[in-house]
Structure 1
Amino acid sequence: MTSRPTERADGQQLHRSVLLDTAVDLLITNPEGRYIDCTFGRGGHSRLLLARLGAQAQLLGIDKDPEAIGFAETLATEDARFRHFHGSFAELVSAMDEQSWSAVDGVLMDLGVSSPQLDDAARGFSFLRDGPLDMRMDTTRGPSAADWLASAEEKEIADVIWRYGEERFSRRIARSVINQRQEEPLQTTRALAELVSAAVPKKEKHKHPATRTFQAIRIFINRELEDLEQGLDAAVSKLAPGGRLVVISFHSLEDRIVKRFMRDLARGPQLPKGLPVMASEEQSAYRLVGKAMKAEVDEVSDNVRARSAVMRVLEKRSDMAENAGEGA
């Protein structure tokens, strides 16, 4: 979830989620329904959802980050319609089971790393701020980036940097990591950023040499793409008729997965030509809502991170359920 800062009355910064109003407007189809905010963060989407939902509505916030769950706990004390789940949205079905929910009217996913995570040097996500080389969204589980770089084979490191960062100098960087750790393991973001800068022979204009490598390691450490694929499957399996899945992605690897997933569902079953089937059997139970949307110019000018945001919306058709009921 990427957000833009705004000022509070006391001078402290808040973070406003990218495409906030548009995402919430498109998500709500039933004001008294049940909804899931799969990437709670600091609660930007959740608070606006609660402001626009009715008194009988229910909202579940999910997040890997223990710090985000702290904010979710506070919101739960303020609004009885809200509850939370600490974990990945890949665990959406388990999160719903805890609430005894069988279906939801909408699922929102605001992907990637959040501004508070990037801005906190102690989390180790940014090469612009020196801090421990952690990169875990859930700091209570799994190896940190430093742990992995200290033990992984050279080929695995190169493969990760190439696959998730599309970095053409991935082999050079991996070799440098191996050479460096023979003397001293990498422990800080600055050390990794400097190592990558030295290993990359050709620099891209207006882009830090470590950008792709940091992205790749972060995605790998947090299983972001695997979780996304599992989360998308879980979300559509739990949508009620008329319910919507809204996904905001921030880089091409995420958006490619989302685009193909929604496109294939909206197309419906691809049956062999000439096969005798009824028209209803060829029709998909899902439809795309509009085209891919991006942040407006004003929003991008306020927050440069918004420029890469892409939002896509899928709806489970309610007319299919009605037709099925008539034929039953």
Structure 2
Amino acid sequence: MDEQEQPKPTSERHIPVLRDRCINLLAPGFEAARSRGTTPIAIDATLGMGGHSEAMLQRFPDLHLIGIDRDEEALALAGRRLAQFAARTDLVHAVYDEIPDVLADLGVQEVHGILMDLGVSSLQLDERERGFAYSYNAPLDMRMDTSRGQTAADVVNTYSEEDLVRIIRKWGEEKFAGRIANRIVQQRATAPFTTTGQLVEAIRGVVPTGAAKSGGHPAKRTFQALRIEVNEELEVLERAVPAAVAATAVGGRVVVMSYHSLEDKIVKAVFQAGSKSSAPPGFPVELEEHKPELKTLTRGTEVPTAQEIAENPRAASARLRAVERIKPRRAQ
């Protein structure tokens, strides 16, 4: 490999989305822990290549960080990036809905800040052989954890036409789901799909050319749907957000960045439920046990500024929500 082909350092390959804004939202939770004489502990639940974690560890010299990722390659890259902080980090191969198990294994009772940066990571988009991108030909894989689970090829080649319509319509919000599923089933009868390029061409054949003017690349929504199905992303998220909230100490904060409406809807529902009183309607006095557990820190969803998008174009679709735990969680 010549000098021009050497891979860039991880810090150059990965620009964390909304880095400063996320860390500023988390900071008061770490300060609250410090004021009580407690070592602040953070979870980066979607570690990726470690950009957000690196910034946190640099800014807060006493912070202990738990980094979680299902992608073993990402964990290895982040480990190298964070090597200078090894004494203050625990990097764990897990899915982020396994937060309770991770904390139990580490002997940690509660944490003071949790960050979730959802969706597909820069590493997964940039590594062509992973098959996440529709812009170049690659094996039809899309697994975030390549050590287990079905691939996108498995889904495309084995699901019934009805199930393909369902996931493409539901997870991809694709109005041409019926046409796409029908073409997939017809084409796989001749030969199975093995590459992203084959799938893109099949989709191009049935999606009207004019649809790209408003909806972007004709394969965008189908690829999103397959990625969500392969990695069970929304089912994981439905478990992960309540687990994150439950693991957070009073004064601690949870910050979540989502990238499409399906993710944001789940995050919004959990945050809103915790931010409301549990007192019965019309109850004359709000008792302490009925008061909200969470305080909303963002007004609706916050979006990137023009400058943030210019610094990192992948931030364009990010939607940010954050809450603070203001009272101990209710007994179950």
Instruction: Tell me the TM-score normalized by structure 1.
Output: 0.89
Query: Residues 91-143 of structure 1: CA distance to partner in whole angstroms, max 9, x if unpaired?
Result: 11111111100100011000000122112210000110110000000000101
Q: Secondary structure of the residue that 1:200 maps to in structure 2?
A: coil
Q: Is 1:289 the counterpart of 2:297 in the alignment?
A: yes
Superposed counterparts of 1:50-89, under 5 Å: 50-55=57-62, 57-75=63-81, 77-79=83-85, 80-89=87-96
Alpha-carbon distance in 2 for matches of 1:229, 1:37 = 17
Of 115, 140, 153, the match for 1:146: 153
Alpha-carbon distance in 2 for matches of 1:131, 1:75 = 27
Equivalent residue for 2:16? 17
Q: Is 1:204 the counterpart of 2:180 in the alignment?
A: no
CA contact 2:279–2:291 (8 Å) conserved in 1: no
Alpha-carbon distance in 2 for matches of 1:118, 1:261 = 29
CA contact 2:274–2:292 (8 Å) conserved in 1: yes
How many residues are matched?
A: 311
Query: Residues 181-215 of structure 1: CA distance to partner in whole angstroms, max 9, x if unpaired?
Result: 11001110111011011121352306111010000
- 1:170 to 1:303, Cα distance in 2 relative to 1, 3 A: same
Equivalent residue for 1:30? 30
Q: Secondary structure of the residue that 2:14 maps to in structure 1?
A: strand
Equivalent residue for 1:162? 169
Equivalent residue for 1:3? none
Alpha-carbon distance in 2 for matches of 1:194, 1:284 = 51
Of 115, 121, 139, the match for 1:108: 115
Gaps of 5+ in 2: 1-6, 32-38
Instruction: Tell me the TM-score normalized by structure 2.
Output: 0.88
| Counterpart code for 1:249 | S
Q: Which moved more, 1:79-88 or 1:263-272?
A: 263-272
Q: Is 1:121 the counterpart of 2:120 in the alignment?
A: no
Alpha-carbon distance in 2 for matches of 1:249, 1:112 = 7
Q: Secondary structure of the residue that 2:13 maps to in structure 1?
A: strand
Q: Shift in Å at residue 260 of structure 1?
A: 2.0
Cα RMSD, aligned residues only = 2.1
Q: Secondary structure of the residue that 1:229 maps to in structure 2?
A: helix
- 1:260 to 1:177, Cα distance in 2 relative to 1, 3 A: same
Equivalent residue for 1:4? none
Equivalent residue for 2:36? none
Equivalent residue for 2:34? none
Gaps of 5+ in 1: 1-7
Percent of residue pairs bearing the same amino acid type = 39
Equivalent residue for 1:5? none
